[in-house]
Amino acid sequence: MPPKRKRRRTKRESSPERSRIESLSHDGRGIARVDGKTVFVEGALPGEDVIFVRYRRRGSFDEGRMTQCLEASPDRVDPRCPSFGICGGCSLQHMAHEAQIRVKEQAMLENLKHFGRVEPEEILPPLTGPVWGYRRSARLGVRYVRKKGMVLVGFRERNSSFIADMEHCDILDSSVGGLLMELRALVGGMNAFMAVPQIEVSVGDEAGALIFRHLQPLEPEEEEMLGAFSEKCGLKVYLQSGGPDTVRPLCGEWGETLVYRVDHGRCGIFFRPGDFIQVNGGLNRQMVLQAMRMLDPGPGEHVLDLFCGLGNFSLPAARRAKTLTGVEGSASMVDRALKNAWVNGVDNAVFYTSDLNADFQSASWSDRRYHKILLDPPRSGALEIVRQMSVFRAARIVYVSCNPATLARDAGELVHNGGYRFTYAGIMDMFPHTAHVEAMAVFDR
Ligand SMILES: C[S@@+](CC[C@H](N)C(=O)[O-])C[C@H]1O[C@@H](n2cnc3c(N)ncnc32)[C@H](O)[C@@H]1O
């Protein structure tokens, strides 16, 4: 289906061409080969016969978008969102969910093969969770659009810095997804309507929060408007005048923070709005349980959790192990992880702040043996750490990844140079309807 909303035409759009789509790119576009050149076609699915126009020409490939689908893939479905095709938030809503899972698993395996020259001995069944209303943390762009005479609130458009003109979002947590029009009206009614560039969403199990970034001081009436909005929609409001350290509650002191629960509700992970939390709460609960099954920490074992954040995996692991050592780059997250351990009655966990991209061999936490290691790095992966991993002599490593390319590179390092066997790998559907691939991989010595 072509996008339902009117789309700006780029000046250099080619005349329509016809081609069959061979495969899907890592960012969810159809791949066609026309006269020896690769064309990435937005909106097209593998196997389809489509009409498309090219809108950008590059040296080794062109970019285009589908204007008509002559023969649809059996995997094609009607996208639920009217902004699909324009909004940059989702790129796979036109593909049946089972097919999304299939292509993500393929993408993981292809990356492992091409970039890591490795293959898992066994593929784990895909882990799936809620596919709508799952996004509990997000950054929404805000912009006054002079031509429209209004403020827009939403995700950026695909391939542009414009904010998509969206009225609601079915991906966002339901406490926020239906509020976009109210947020437009709220910011549009403020004197600072041109000086609020972003609203950050953070939702816990019991309450949610919005952080309004503002580039000029807000007047008392504007703060009152925000307070009334907070009361009405039941979300706490925070203000951010500068960097992350400037976030403050609209009313009162920091006091209580947000919380979500993992490990069958046994661990409460408290966090502040804006802290990193796994985006999909339902999937995260399952991911933590799968990680514990895979890690299987024994009561006599010392476990290391690298890139531990707030203690999402650390606290469940500490409950099963003899000791847990968590390491994280952000001192404020380490502080919160320590408090989380204390609040949950976990007394066998210690946490350290360290840059895990650097040589860590002089760090006090690195001077001992760990039986099991879990790591959950950012998109850039953990090459430095996996290169030094053998010093710990861990029997098992569980690697949680949000980027199949860096997972593949690091898996290659562990297998070809680190002496590990690649036992399991499986995808986790953390970001349904987007092309993001989250995976868990297990290595044994
Ligand atoms: C994908 S998050 C995982 C957090 C946590 N495991 C969880 O499940 O919520 C990656 C974490 O790595 C941390 N991080 C990023 N770069 C780092 C670095 N160079 N050294 C140490 N930690 C880093 C971030 O602060 C973030 O908490």
Cα(113) to centroid(ligand 1), Å: 26
- Same domain, yes or no, for 122 and 144? no
* Model pLDDT, residue 368: 92
Flag whether 196 is in a domain: yes
233 is an active site residue: no
- Tell me the average pLDDT across 123-127: 98
* Model pLDDT, residue 361: 84
Cα(250) to centroid(ligand 1), Å: 28
User: In this structure, which residue's CA is closest to atom 21 in ligand 1?
Assistant: 329
**What whole-number distance in Å separates Cα of residue 353 and Cα of residue 334?**
6
Which among 136, 287, 328 is the best mutation to test ligand 1's pocket, defined by most ligand atoms within 8 Å of the CB? 328
Confidence of residue 11 (pLDDT cuts 50, 70, 90): low
Flag whether 88 is in a domain: no
pLDDT at 6 over 80: no
Condensed to tens digits (0 to 9), the pLDDT of residues 316-356 reads 999 999 999 999 999 999 999 999 999 999 999 999 999 99
Condensed to tens digits (0 to 9), the pLDDT of residues 78-105 reads 999 999 999 999 999 999 999 999 999 9
Q: Percent of the chain, pLDDT > 70?
A: 97
- Tell me the average pLDDT across 9-37: 88
- Same domain, yes or no, for 242 and 351? no
Burial class of residue 171, CB neighbours in 10 A (0-12, 13-18, 19+): buried
**What whole-number distance in Å separates Cα of residue 237 and Cα of residue 225?**
11
Condensed to tens digits (0 to 9), the pLDDT of residues 57-70 reads 998 999 999 999 99
* Model pLDDT, residue 222: 96
Flag whether 12 is in a domain: yes
Cα(11) to centroid(ligand 1), Å: 42
User: In this structure, which residue's CA is closest to atom 4 in ligand 1?
Assistant: 309
Q: Which atom of ligand 1 is nearest to the CA of 288?
A: 8
Q: Which of 69, 87, 267, 402 is catalytic?
A: 402
Domain of residue 230: give its range: 137-256
Q: What is the CATH number of the domain that holds 38?
A: 2.40.50.140
From 72-86, 214-228, 249-263, 393-407, the region with the lowest mean pLDDT: 249-263
From 11-25, 26-40, 381-395, the region with the lowest mean pLDDT: 11-25
Cα(375) to centroid(ligand 1), Å: 9
21: number of Cβ within 10 Å: 24
**String of DSSP letters for 164-202:** P--S--SSB-HHHHT-HHHHHHHHHTSTTTTS--EEEEE
Residue that is last in its domain, among 57, 76, 95: 76
* Model pLDDT, residue 128: 96
- Tell me the average pLDDT across 424-428: 98
Condensed to tens digits (0 to 9), the pLDDT of residues 218-242 reads 999 999 999 999 999 999 999 999 9
- Same domain, yes or no, for 296 and 251? no
* Model pLDDT, residue 9: 47
Flag whether 81 is in a domain: no
- Same domain, yes or no, for 284 and 433? yes
* Model pLDDT, residue 254: 79
pLDDT at 256 over 70: no
**Beta carbons of 51 and 61 less than 8 angstroms apart:** no
Cα(308) to centroid(ligand 1), Å: 6
Pocket of ligand 1 (CB under 6 A): 276, 278, 307-310, 312-313, 328-330, 333, 355-357, 376-378, 402
Beta-strand relationship, 49-57 and 61-71:
antiparallel
Q: Which atom of ligand 1 is nearest to the CA of 305?
A: 6
- Same domain, yes or no, for 141 and 112? no
* Model pLDDT, residue 62: 96
Q: Which atom of ligand 1 is nearest to the CA of 330?
A: 25
Mean pLDDT (the chain) is 95
- What pTM does this model have? 0.94
- Same domain, yes or no, for 440 and 298? yes
Q: How many domains are there within the chain?
A: 3
Q: Which two tokens stand for residue 19?
A: 């081609």
Q: What is the CATH number of the domain that holds 143?
A: 2.40.50.1070
Q: Which two tokens stand for residue 243?
A: 């960097």
